[in-house]
Amino acid sequence: MTPYYIYKQKILKKGKGKIEREEEKKGKKRKGEKKRRKEKARLSKKTRKILLRKKKKKKKDKTLIIKAIIKERCRVDKSIEL
């Protein structure tokens, strides 16, 4: 156990004053806000990755379709020449 932890234990046993309780509430509130922000950022990052994947897949599908059309045109052109 760290000295700070032991010190906190003693304070808890003695009882807290009004100021300490208010400071503790503020600290908990800040921690909660920070946790919410982190969670929100993590979710937005996750959704952004998913959207990027979908966008890449869509782009890849379009390029495959275009390539298929070009191949088909080349085949048609070759058959006409012969």
What pLDDT score was predicted for residue 80? 67
Q: Which residue has better confidence, 8 or 63?
A: 63
In this prediction the pTM is 0.42
Find tokens 């806000």 and name the residue: 33
> Which phi and psi angles does 49 have, rounded to 5°?
-65, -45
What pLDDT score was predicted for residue 1? 64
Q: pLDDT by residue (tens digit) across 38-58?
A: 999 888 888 888 888 988 988
